[in-house]
Amino acid sequence: MRVLLIDDHALFRMGLKELLERRNLEVVDVVGSGEQGLEVLGREALDVVLLDMRMPGLSGLEVLKRLRQEYPRLPVVMLTTSRDERDLIDSLQQGAQGYLLKDMEPDELIDALIRIVQRGETLVAPELTAVLAKAVQGGENPVAPADLGDAFASLTPREREILCHLADGQSNKLIARNLGISDGTVKLHVKAILRKLEVHSRVEAAVMAVEKGMCDRVVE
């Protein structure tokens, strides 16, 4: 997987470059501005771009808009510290395939990149699922749900339980710990949930559950 990292914080981008390379990802370049990133894109073939939100000169959103116009099929993932609802919604509406937080676990970042690039999923940091659901309820809908019909009725009781944990923004590891089951079992249930709801990401499934009022209770 060929990666371009665009971030104005030198220590962060060099540390992330080393982390990605240790996990056998090819970091084509690391640059400190949107302008430099666009120059790299003009001469290199890439699989994914990791893009910071707040940068001097061209902001992350401005770079994202340019990338969508010039490279519409290239996956772009926002990697940021911003938990702001407006930043999240704007990024998804402008075509970002992911909105991830810089404090996430390294293995979770690698897993997210694989799912975005190889499976075409759209992923949002689990901590921001509730923010996204709130935006959807308020009328802003960057993730358009399918016509569900009886899809929810096809879920088993355990799948419904896990879906509500997803809607609460919990990771697979946290769900496994809360339910006393293995990470692998959670992953199998999540895969079944996505298949039955005919969606591509856990975020879409979580938002649908919130919209349909499936998880009004507080998940313990």
Which residue from 34, 125, 113, 50 is spatially nearest to 85, judged by alpha carbons?
Answer: 125
pLDDT of the residue at 123: 85
CATH number, residue 106: 3.40.50.2300
Average pLDDT over residues 115-139: 76
Q: Are residues 8 and 96 in the same domain?
A: yes
- Domain end point (choices 60, 92, 124): 124
pTM greater than 0.85 (yes/no): no
Q: Are residues 144 and 89 in the same domain?
A: no
pLDDT digits (tens, 9 = 90+) for 52-76: 999 988 999 999 999 999 998 899 9
Residue 99 covered by a domain: yes
Cα(211)–Cα(110) distance, integer angstroms:
30
- Domain end point (choices 101, 124, 147): 124
Q: Are residues 103 and 42 in the same domain?
A: yes
Do 64 and 96 form a contact (C-beta atoms < 8 A)?
Answer: yes
Residue 216 covered by a domain: no
pLDDT digits (tens, 9 = 90+) for 80-112: 999 888 899 889 888 899 999 998 888 888 888
Domain that holds residue 83: 2-124
**Looking at the 3D structure of the chain, how many domains does it have?**
2
Q: Are strands 2-6 and 123-124 parallel, antiparallel or unpaired?
A: unpaired
Q: Are residues 82 and 151 in the same domain?
A: no
What one-character-per-residue DSSP string does 128-173 give?
GHHHHHHHHHTT--SS-----TTTGGGS-HHHHHHHHHHHTT--HH
Cα(116)–Cα(104) distance, integer angstroms:
16
Residue 142: how many other CB atoms lie within 10 Å: 20
HSE, side-chain direction, 13 A CA sphere, residue 212: 21
